[in-house]
Structure 1
Amino acid sequence: MFRAAYENAARKVDRDLVGTAPSRAQLHRWISGGLKRLPYTDHCRVLETMFPGWTADQLFGPWSDDLPPGVDRAVAPPRDGPLPLIALDGPGLPLAGVAAVFTTRAEFTYAMPPQVMFDDAQDIRAAGLSLNLLCQQYPDQRLRRLVESGTRLECLFLDPDGDAIKARECEEGYTDHYLSTLTKLNIEVLARVRDRLPAEARDRLSLAVYDETIRFGIVLIDGATCVMQPYLPQARGVDSPTFLLRRDAGGVGLYNTFEQIYRELSERSRPV
């Protein structure tokens, strides 16, 4: 999320600075409070654009209750803790709840690993094709512990024996039933996890399939965060843009749109 905000600000400052966002380790050094001198000048220019009203000296200096003129306390760095990530959907930036955009799912999972999204979640609802984010990138044992601890998990897969998945295989150029086989495998993975749960926890993991033209991959977390991917022609899901959406307190925005799509898809699905 920080990288996406940084690149957006860099584009405004100087397009030659796009791609100069700090590494994860470098960002950690920035927010740890231990820098002996300011980052490079170009970094400072971008940071001052990300945090209007703040100079680089102030951003990396000791905390003070005296805010710079024109800076709202609501967007100021917290007294105890690192600098906050810039809010892309804050006041005056009507982005319909879009918090970050990634050009591919690979970039998204690098910035937001599955364990960061799921480890503390209490409610996860996912709909897509094979749901690799949950089934291939999040360990079975971790998933089992999550459900045992009280998390509710609902997964909607594209029916591996349906017509829609055959059409998608043709679109992506597969001739060996690759998507059908992968989806069956992932369903079996979660079914095995469910079977190994204590009896009182099994109802918290539900699996279902649907047979409709696939348009989006949707993951809803705790009724507040949505990870959404459109399915593009001839492009694998891992190569598709990925959007991180936050629920708008006023009941408007894209989170509500995709939650409604998920809800209607769930109503038309068939339990496994």
Structure 2
Amino acid sequence: MADQQILLKSLLQQRHWQTYKTFCKEYDKAAKLVDSTLQGKWPSRAQLHRWLSGELKGLPYSDHCRVLEAMFPGRTVEELFSPNSTRNSTPRSDTHLPKNAAPSVEAAPAPQLADVTAVFGSRSAFASTYPPTVLFDTAKEISAAGLSLNVLCQSYPDHRLKSLLENGTRIRCLFLDPKGTAIRAREDEEGYKDNTLVTLTALNINILTRLRDQLPREAADLLELRVYDETIRFNILIVDGATCVVQPYLPQARGVDSPTIVINDNTAADGLFPVFDRVFTSLWERSLPV
């Protein structure tokens, strides 16, 4: 079944419930109707991926089955985990081509973009389409890992950050350690000779530390600052567990010149969101608090 889309995956896509956050919300609605004690007991992201990829052997636990049948009235759980017979999965045939002939460009399959929704040639091009106010003003959770995190510290006003925190937004910031060796290596790679990246990163950490000191205790606890000292590969920004912005660090190029990828969590697709979510989590767990 792993090579054929199951009905549950098709139905989630049809209803636009494929992001993990949306799935959990709809799961809770159905759970309330079935048994209120099942609310909040949705599958983990990894479990849901196994369900939708067709890798699950048998059926989920009975409580999950009850909720799934409530989410899709008229469908049995056996149907939900069976291949979608209405989906056109007939492979393209190239039997008419001469022996050793390559398929024409017109006959090539469409590119598979999974959960990638936009790609920009540079950070400035990305910022003109996704300004910080659009990204952050209504956010309930922001996780950022990179070098100096200018998008939060330099491009987004302090009073807006303060307002977010006072209204319950959780913000996690993971900086490249300004006292570490990895940031020195990156400065050498970019051709800096005057501690530019060290100074900027230390300044940005100080900006957020000062802001945290001005907040009430409950709001201050929502702003978590950490540092790590490892070769920098990506700048990762995750907003509300649904939108991920990824910027690779290129050799001998400033970060602002990096291409930028926008990813929207689509649990019903084999996408990149869980990949970079794991990268952030792994870095966070190895980091040190500020």
Partner of 1:138: 156
Partner of 2:228: 210
2:126 pairs with 1:108: yes
Which of 254, 257, 260 is the aligned partner of 1:236? Answer: 254
Offset of residue 204 of structure 1: 0.3
Offset of residue 236 of structure 1: 0.9
Offset of residue 93 of structure 1: 6.1
Partner of 2:117: 99
Structure 1 residues 94 and 251: CA distance shift in structure 2, 3 A: closer
CA-to-aligned-CA distance 1:76-135 (integer Å, 9 cap, x gap):
xxxxxxxxxxxxxxxx76312110000000010011100000000000000000000110
Which of 154, 173, 181 is the aligned partner of 1:155? Answer: 173
- Structure with bigger gyration radius: 2
SS in 1 for 2:224: strand
Partner of 2:28: none
Offset of residue 200 of structure 1: 1.4
Partner of 2:140: 122
Large movers: runs of 4+ above 6 Å: none
Q: Which runs of 5+ in 1 are unaligned?
A: 1-91
How big is the alpha-carbon RMSD for the aligned residues of Structure 1 and Structure 2? 1.0
Letter in 2 for 1:202: A
SS in 2 for 1:120: coil
CA distance in 1, matches of 2:247, 2:225: 20
CA-to-aligned-CA distance 1:131-172 (integer Å, 9 cap, x gap):
001100000111010111010000000000000000000000
Which of 188, 199, 203 is the aligned partner of 2:217? Answer: 199
Letter in 1 for 2:119: V
Instruction: Tell me the TM-score normalized by structure 2.
Output: 0.61
Q: Which runs of 5+ in 2 are unaligned?
A: 1-109
Instruction: Tell me the TM-score normalized by structure 1.
Output: 0.65
2:239 pairs with 1:221: yes
2:270 pairs with 1:261: no
Structure 1 residues 251 and 201: CA distance shift in structure 2, 3 A: farther
CA distance in 2, matches of 1:125, 1:251: 22
8 Å contact 2:115–2:269 — kept in the other structure? no
Partner of 2:17: none
Greater relative contact order (Cα < 8 A, sep 6+):
2
8 Å contact 2:182–2:230 — kept in the other structure? yes
8 Å contact 2:226–2:287 — kept in the other structure? yes
CA-to-aligned-CA distance 1:213-271 (integer Å, 9 cap, x gap):
00000000000000100000011111100010010123631011000000000000000
Identity %: 60
SS in 2 for 1:226: strand
Letter in 1 for 2:135: M
2:199 pairs with 1:181: yes
Structure 1 residues 10-49: aligned runs within 5 Å: none
CA distance in 2, matches of 1:211, 1:94: 35
CA distance in 1, matches of 2:129, 2:231: 29
Letter in 2 for 1:247: D
CA distance in 1, matches of 2:220, 2:153: 17
Letter in 1 for 2:234: F
Letter in 1 for 2:190: E
CA-to-aligned-CA distance 1:163-183 (integer Å, 9 cap, x gap):
000000000000001000000
Letter in 2 for 1:220: I
